């Protein structure tokens, strides 16, 4: 099931890249195309440290629950633990589906890539 999900994600990002002609979607494809063992994992504490309130963030890997976060983030990530989801939502943040992220930010402006 994992390869199908990855292939669908990359396909969606390629379409966004072709339609909008912005480099952020190609960069996300490049990060997701790494082997699973070479993809970075990001902890909530790291996100809290490098982001500001109400930022929009793409994490092309897995978010884990180590650490605490106290500000709102809007996030898209390839995978996320249940505990990390709870921490983000409890802080007032949102977790977007990829299609919604691309519709809301087609040109990638205001979106940060972390990971």
For the chain (115 residues), the mean pLDDT of every run of 10, in chain order, is: 75 94 94 88 96 96 95 96 97 95 95 93
CB 63 within 8 A of CB 77: yes
pLDDT at 3: 56
Domain count of the chain? 1
pLDDT at 2: 46
**Residues 65, 81: Cα–Cα separation, whole Å:** 7
Give me the CATH number covering residue 90: 3.100.10.10
**Residues 1, 9: Cα–Cα separation, whole Å:** 13
pLDDT at 36: 84
Query: What domain range is 58 assigned to?
Result: 2-113
**Residues 49, 53: Cα–Cα separation, whole Å:** 11
**Residues 96, 103: Cα–Cα separation, whole Å:** 11
């Amino acid at each position: 099931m994992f390869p199908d999900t990855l292939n669908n994600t990359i396909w969606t990002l390629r379409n966004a890249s072709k339609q909008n002609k912005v480099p952020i979607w190609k960069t996300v494809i490049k990060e997701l195309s790494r082997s699973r063992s070479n993809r970075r994992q990001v902890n909530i504490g790291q996100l809290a440290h490098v982001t500001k309130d109400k930022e929009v963030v793409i994490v092309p890997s897995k978010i884990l629950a180590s650490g605490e976060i106290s500000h709102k983030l809007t996030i898209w990530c390839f995978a996320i633990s249940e505990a990390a989801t709870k921490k983000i939502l409890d802080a007032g943040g949102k977790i977007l589906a990829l299609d919604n992220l691309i519709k809301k930010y087609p040109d990638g402006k205001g979106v940060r890539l972390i990971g």
